[in-house]
Amino acid sequence: MDRTFAGKLFATAIGAAALACAASTAEAFTESNGNNVQIQLTSTVNNICSISTSTTGAVVLGDVTVTPFNGTIATLTELCNALGGYKVTLTSLNAGNGNTLFLKPSSATNTEQINYSLTYGTAPVSFSGGSATLTTSHTPTGGTGVQNPLSLTTVTGFYNADTYTDTLTITLAAGG
């Protein structure tokens, strides 16, 4: 057999195999009964669940001895398309496993703390075991999400001079 003929035979065999594969793939997605053709369309939409805020950087509460703080510290946007809904939780670095929210002094010799409370939307935030559930929804949010203000109120008091801080972590997860 000469090389040219063998090469053409090989190319023909590969081409036939490719056509057979294409035909079998097409048959998996289409159905024909002579007068019409049906084509199956499929789309898989993944869960998109997130929480965001327009607040950037630290929120400065000012000198709460002079004027107790009472106001919105962030507006959060909940966005989730999970059919089973979603849950938003909040934890505080200082609360640990406790039930009290407080600003902790930066000085090691200062044992004072500034207690505070939170409101999410219109509901008071209730801490238990170091965390709080802000939202439990059994339905998706829709494309624009749901917005809620997070507000903070400090307890009135005459506090030692220091810098007091806490870090809040807010998490949104699928499954309400």
Q: Could you tell me if 26 and 68 lie in one domain?
A: no
Residue 85: predicted pLDDT: 94
Q: Could you tell me if 70 and 147 lie in one domain?
A: yes
Per-residue pLDDT reduced to its tens digit, 11-20:
444 444 444 4
Q: What strands lie across the sheet with 168-174, from one edge to the other?
A: 131-137, 86-92, 168-174
Alpha carbon of 118 to those of 145, 155, 167: distances in Å?
Answer: 22, 11, 13
Q: Could you tell me if 124 and 94 lie in one domain?
A: yes
Q: Could you tell me if 61 and 30 lie in one domain?
A: no
The answer to whether 116 touches 103, Cβ cutoff 8 Å, is: yes
Residue 176: predicted pLDDT: 73
Q: Could you tell me if 129 and 169 lie in one domain?
A: yes
In a domain, residue 44? The reply is: no
Region 102-123: mean pLDDT is 96
Q: State the sign of the Cα–Cα–Cα–Cα dihedral 103, 136, 74, 68.
A: negative
Q: Could you tell me if 32 and 11 lie in one domain?
A: yes
Per-residue pLDDT reduced to its tens digit, 51-80:
999 888 889 999 999 899 999 999 999 999
Q: What's the domain count of the chain?
A: 2
CA gap 117, 127 in Å, rounded: 10
CA gap 158, 28 in Å, rounded: 76
> Which domain covers residue 14, as residue numbers?
3-39
Share of the chain above pLDDT 70, in %: 82
Q: Could you tell me if 109 and 75 lie in one domain?
A: yes
Per-residue pLDDT reduced to its tens digit, 91-104:
999 987 788 899 99
Region 139-154: mean pLDDT is 95
In a domain, residue 119? The reply is: yes
Residue 97: predicted pLDDT: 79
